[in-house]
Homo-oligomer: A and B are copies of this chain.
Amino acid sequence: MPLPIRLVLLRPRNAENLGAAARAMKNCGLSEWTWVRPEAEELSPARRLAVHAEDVLEASGRADTLDAAVADCVWVVGTSSRKVEGKRRLSPRAVAEEMVQRAAQGPVALVFGDERSGLTNAEVERCHDLSAVPTAPEQPSINLAQAVLLYAYEIRMATLAASPPPAAPLPVAATDTELALVESALEDALVTGGFLVDEQSRGRTGLRDLFAPLRRSRLTRKEAKLWLAALHTLAKRLRSGNRGG
């Protein structure tokens, strides 16, 4: 059974890239991918480049938002060369090795931005960790299909190298949706409690820095539920205190 490793392509513009990416995925034994609002309409150039991977091309999922594309994922890695405090910057090889392990807990996603501008700041924030191909400084920009190939190749190498899974079952990991609920509850408690005063400026940065370690730590489902319950209780008590005071 193939591992639940999903490639997510945001706003892909170029049909030839989609075809070459499909071929590369099939070369490396991957078949699950989702296109978020694809801008490439005419798919015949994609079919020409897919060669014997038309099945992968036809089986692409569609989503309207990155959130929807990764809602069920236990780990979401964005491909971007940006540095963001609180998020790890992993090599493609390290991402592949960790994905093959984590895919035992649930679906994992690797997110690629569009050919022109890559991931937006909000999308970078949305990902749990980041990764970039260590390209040469003379030519840092890499073609989308070639980036897909490199990650798919590393995933194949890691899959081939992977030892049999550990006998002890891993704890159930929180999904991306469950993480987002915890983050909202944290924001609610901090705003109600008067710690985040200006949601537009300092507020969002503070929330991001506070939430980063929880995102990094790969919450289990049990921990996520406990945090949610704790934060709801605090927010409720704060609200009643606000009214009483």
Residues of A within 8 A of B (CB): 20, 23-24, 26-29, 51-53, 85-86, 93, 133-136, 138-143, 146, 149-150, 153, 156-157, 160, 171, 189-190, 193-195, 206, 209-210, 212-214, 216-219, 222-223, 226-227, 229-230, 233-234, 237-238, 240-242, 244-245
Contacts and interface: CB of A to CB of B under 8 A. Distances in A.
B24 A234 contact: no
The 6 closest A-B pairs by CB, nearest first: A241-B241, A217-B217, A244-B245, A29-B136, A26-B139, A213-B217
Contacts of A223: 86, 209-210, 212-213
A230 B190 contact: yes
Contacts of A213: 213-214, 217-219, 223, 227
Contacts of A218: 213, 216
Contact of A29 (B20, B138, B171, B242): B138
Nearest to A211: B223
Contacts of A140: 27
Given A27-B133, A213-B217, A238-B238, 4 more contacts: A134-B157, A190-B234, A210-B227, A216-B218
